Amino acid sequence: MKKIFLPKLKSNLTKDEQMFIGSWTDNRYFVIQSIIAKSFQNLSETEKQYSDKANTLLNMFSKYKSHLPKDKPVFRGLKFHKNRSDEVLRYRYIVEEIKVAYKFQENYIHSYTPFSTSKKLGVAMDFANRQLEDFYSVVLFFNKRISDELDLTQFSSADEFEVLIQGGLKYKITEYANILNKVYVTLEEIK
Amino acid sequence: MRDENVIINEWSEIVARSEQDSKNAFKRKVANGEWDERKEIESIPDEVLQFFYKESWKIEKAKMLQECGNSYE
C-alpha cells in the first residue's frame, strides 16, 4: 500500500482514527499499550473494549507518512518512584540495558510496543520529573530516525507535541551520561 | 528466530503506568495554567544541553526558547 502523508486536520482522518487519537490522548495510553503488548490475547473486559483502537493505531503506522524532518530529534522522559520496589527494579534493568548496548555496539535496544515521545525537550524533562528528588529519571534523545512516526501535535491535547514511535524498531545507544543524578541517553535507529 | 543482538526492552506495565501518570499530571498542569515551557527550558542544566547538542547547545537553546508553544514543522 502506498503511504500518504498524515493529514494535519483531524476531520481528514477516518472516524476510527479520530476515535483512537481521542482515546490515546484521553487517559487510555496504558490500556492500548497493554492490548498491543498482549497481542490481543488474555484481555480483560475493559481491554476488549479498546482492542479495535489498538488495531487502528497499528494500521496508521503503515498507512501514513510523517511530515516530521528526520534530523529533528524527539524526546522521551521516564520516571521511576524511589519508594516503589518494582519501579526501582525496572529503572535498574533499563539502565543496565543501556550500558550493555553502549559497551557492545552490536547490541541494540528494541521497543516492543509503540511509545510516546515529544518534539519538546521541556515536555520530556517534565515527564521525567526532573525537579523531584523522589524519582529516578531517564531522558531519551532520539536524534536519528528512519521509520515513519505519527506526529499527533495537531490532534493530541495539552501542548504535549506528541509523536508516536512505532514498535519493533531497533536503536543503537550512541552515548549516555549521568548528570546530576539523572540518566540521559542518545539513540539512533538502525535498520 | 530471536535475533541474538536484541536486548529486549519488552513492554513493561510499570513503565506504561508511569507514563500514563506523567501524561495525566502534565494535562492537569496545562489545564491549571501551571505549564510554562519557557521556564522549563531555562531551568534545564547547561550540562544536559551540552550532552545532547554538543558545541551548538547555546544555539539550540535559543531555538527552543524561540519555538516555545509552537511546533517546528
Mean pLDDT over the full length of chain A: 88
Query: Does residue A158 sit at the B interface (CB-CB below 8 Å)?
Result: yes
Q: Is A168 left (phi over 0), alpha (psi -120 to 50) or beta?
A: left
Structural domains of chain A sorted by starting position, each given as residue range(s) with its CATH number in brackets: 8-64 (no CATH), 74-190 (3.90.176.10)
Domain positions in chain B are 36-73
Would the CB atoms of B26 and A112 count as touching at under 8 Å?
Answer: no
Residue A137 · residue A128 · CB < 8 Å: yes
Would the CB atoms of A34 and B48 count as touching at under 8 Å?
Answer: no
Statement: residue B2 has pLDDT above 60: no
Query: Does residue A26 sit at the B interface (CB-CB below 8 Å)?
Result: no
Q: Which chain B residue is nearest to residue A187, measuring alpha carbons?
A: B52
DSSP B55: G
Would the CB atoms of B7 and A109 count as touching at under 8 Å?
Answer: yes
Mutual angle of helices B13-31 and A85-103, in 10-degree steps: 110
Mutual angle of helices A29-37 and B13-31, in 10-degree steps: 160
What share of chain B has pLDDT > 90, as a percent? 53
User: A38 in helix, strand or coil?
Assistant: coil
Query: What is the arithmetic mean of pLDDT over B28-45?
Result: 92
Bridge partner residues of A139 (DSSP) = A77, A184
pLDDT in tens, chain A (191 residues): 789 999 988 889 999 898 888 887 777 788 888 888 876 667 777 777 778 888 888 899 999 998 899 888 999 999 999 999 999 999 999 999 999 999 998 889 888 888 999 999 999 999 998 667 899 999 999 998 999 999 998 887 668 999 999 988 999 999 999 999 999 999 999 98
Residue A146 CB burial class (10 angstroms; 0-12, 13-18, ≥19) = exposed
Nearest alpha carbon to residue A150 among A64, A32, A90, A71:
A64
Q: What nine digits make up the cell of A92? A: 535498574
Give the whole-angstrom CA distance, residue A67 versus residue A181: 35
Would the CB atoms of B11 and A37 count as touching at under 8 Å?
Answer: yes
The phi and psi torsions of B29 (rounded to 5 degrees) equal -60, -45
Residue in the structure block whose three cell numbers are 548496548: A101
pLDDT of residue B69: 67
Residues 6+ apart with CB under 8 A from A154: A8, A9, A10
Query: Does residue A174 sit at the B interface (CB-CB below 8 Å)?
Result: no
Tell me which amino acid residue A95 is.
Answer: V
Task: Please give the ipTM for the structure prediction.
Answer: 0.88
Residue A19 · residue A164 · CB < 8 Å: no
Query: Does residue A9 sit at the B interface (CB-CB below 8 Å)?
Result: no
